[in-house]
Amino acid sequence: ASPKPVRKTSSITLTPNLPAPIIQNGQSEPEVAVIHESTL
User: How far is residue 32's CA from residue 1's CA, in Å, rounded to a whole number?
Assistant: 21
Report pLDDT digits (tens) over 27-39. Answer: 555 565 565 555 5
For range 8-15, the mean pLDDT: 54
pLDDT at 38: 56
pLDDT at 32: 57
User: How far is residue 21's CA from residue 7's CA, in Å, rounded to a whole number?
Assistant: 20
Residue-wise DSSP of 4-37:
HHHHHHHHHHHGGGS-HHHHHHHHH-HHHHHHHH
pLDDT at 29: 55
